[in-house]
Amino acid sequence: MGNLTGKIAWVTGSGSGIGEAAALALAEDGATVILTGRTREKLENTARRIGNAASAHVQPADLTDKAQVRRVGDYIKATFDRLDILVNNAGVNIVDRHWDKLTPESIEYMVNGNLTAALYCVTVALPFMRAQQDGVIIHTASMAGRFIGGVSGPIYVAAKHGIVAMSHGLNMEECLNGIRSTVFLPGEVATPILDQRPNPVGPEVRAKMVQPADCGDLIRYIANLPKHVVMNEVHLAPTHNRGYVANLQRRL
């Protein structure tokens, strides 16, 4: 039996990338996983990779729609009546991400997809975890949530800074309820979201990046930490950090 046997985990954005890797890792360690994202086909593929039908429950939703978020919460309540782990991972980016191309509509899409949806999911998780006096929430932010740079675009950076603030705020208010919130700030990860960059990089560059499985292993580790400790914030970056390499080359 795995360390997470009997635990219920809700993983958002679990159709690909970090979310898929997290779902696989948590299920491998014994957790029952609710898989949520926009595309049922991708979620069902993740469920097939998990392999055990009892361990993977597909619940598609647009998490920017509060009614759909509540529907998933109702499903968790009716089916399990508990929630031990929330991996708040869903996020988006766009190609036209800089101020010369941004519109009110694209800004709304970015803020809703990267911050509002995560906030909605927390409102579902907290009642379960308060009742249990126990629970772990792991938010996927980004290095862009701690350091301001130009690659990700200003709205992505602003939204991910909001995720960092949200996570620390949760620990400040919910520590007496046994709830622990971790904000995970990965550097470049070889996930499909890279295809939304204005100039996507090729497979040889992606091979040097953090891989989704690396993130899944870290998320599993955080979920297994004892109740009396919280990992407030954690960074994970590639050894071959392209930002560092560029700075070194400028010194030559």
Provide the token pair at 243.
Answer: 């930002």
Which residue in the list 120, 156, 221, 244 is annotated as catalytic? Answer: 156
- 156 catalytic? Reply is yes
Q: Rounded CA gap, 241 and 252, in Å?
A: 17
Secondary structure (3-state) at 32: strand
Residue with tokens 């126990």: 134
Sign, CA dihedral 200-204-210-215, equals positive
Give residue 86's identity as a one-letter amino acid code. Answer: L
132: nearest Cα among 59, 77, 89? 77
117: nearest Cα among 86, 77, 83? 86
Q: Which residues are catalytic?
A: 156
